[in-house]
């Protein structure tokens, strides 16, 4: 009886997709961290401002314009700009879509090989092209403009990478 339990435990740990779990954990941090940071910073409760500082530190290193975050708990702003949060939203949407479809569907770009890769790269350029246009003075920062560009980039990343991150054991 003891051998059967050990074999079952070993088999269940083999079926555990650690890449998927780590990716989901990181996505959860990217989804909840930036909007929660201002409230943690404003709370003044024991360790919460320190946790907010960690989130702001990470936001400052991944976002090109963290000072443009939404003013959620004045004077504290969201840890990233809406372009970055639009990207995270696109990743979240595709993760939920992958969970619902199990990777089956024509829209998963990985299924198209190099053509899917090329399309993903083209769509991923929405974020940097919009940022470049802003830096070059073609328009000024506007949350209503930057968010959809980030969303397109996040959707492209997600439509290409979700089958890779969450379905690698099925191939």
Q: Which two tokens stand for residue 65?
A: 């314009």
Cβ atoms within 10 Å, residue 161: 19
Q: Which residue has the tokens 């569907």?
A: 105
With CA atoms as reference, report the closest residue to 146 among 160, 156, 157, 135. 135
pLDDT in tens, the chain (171 residues): 455 544 444 445 566 788 899 999 999 999 999 999 999 999 989 899 999 999 999 999 999 999 999 999 999 999 999 999 999 999 999 999 999 998 888 999 888 999 999 999 999 999 999 999 999 999 999 999 999 999 999 999 999 999 989 885 554
In sequence order, the 6+-apart residues with CB closer than 8 A to the CB of 67 are: 77
What pLDDT was estimated at residue 122? 96
Residue 97 lies in a domain: yes
DSSP-derived 3-state class of residue 81: coil
Is 159 in contact with 95 (CB distance < 8 Å)?
Answer: no
Residue 28 lies in a domain: yes
Backbone angles phi and psi of 20, in degrees to 5: -65, -45
What pLDDT was estimated at residue 161? 93
What pLDDT was estimated at residue 13? 55
- CA-CA distances (angstroms) from residue 113 to 23, 44, 108, 120? 22, 51, 10, 11
Residue 39 lies in a domain: yes
Domain enclosing residue 83, as ranges: 17-170
Residue 1 lies in a domain: no
Dist CA 24 CA 16 (whole Å): 13
Kindly compute the dihedral angle of the four CA atoms of residues 81, 83, 85, 90, in this order, to the nearest 10 degrees.
180
Residue 56 lies in a domain: yes
Count up the domains in the chain and report the number: 1
């Amino acid at each position: 009886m003891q051998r059967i339990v050990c074999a079952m435990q070993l088999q269940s740990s083999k079926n555990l997709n650690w890449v998927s779990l780590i990716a989901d954990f990181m996505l959860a941090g990217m989804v909840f961290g930036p909007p929660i940071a201002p409230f943690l910073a404003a709370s003044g409760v024991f360790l919460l401002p320190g946790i907010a500082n960690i989130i702001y530190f990470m936001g400052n290193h991944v976002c090109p314009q963290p000072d443009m975050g939404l003013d959620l708990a004045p004077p504290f702003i969201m840890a990233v700009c809406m372009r970055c949060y639009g990207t995270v939203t696109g990743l979240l949407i595709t993760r939920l879509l992958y969970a619902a479809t199990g990777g089956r569907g024509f829209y998963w770009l990985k299924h198209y090989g190099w053509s899917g890769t090329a399309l993903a790269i083209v769509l991923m350029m929405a974020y940097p092209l919009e940022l470049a246009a802003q830096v070059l003075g073609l328009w000024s920062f506007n949350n209503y403009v930057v968010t959809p560009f980030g969303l397109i980039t996040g959707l492209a990343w997600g439509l290409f990478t979700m089958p890779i991150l969450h379905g690698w054991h099925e191939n």
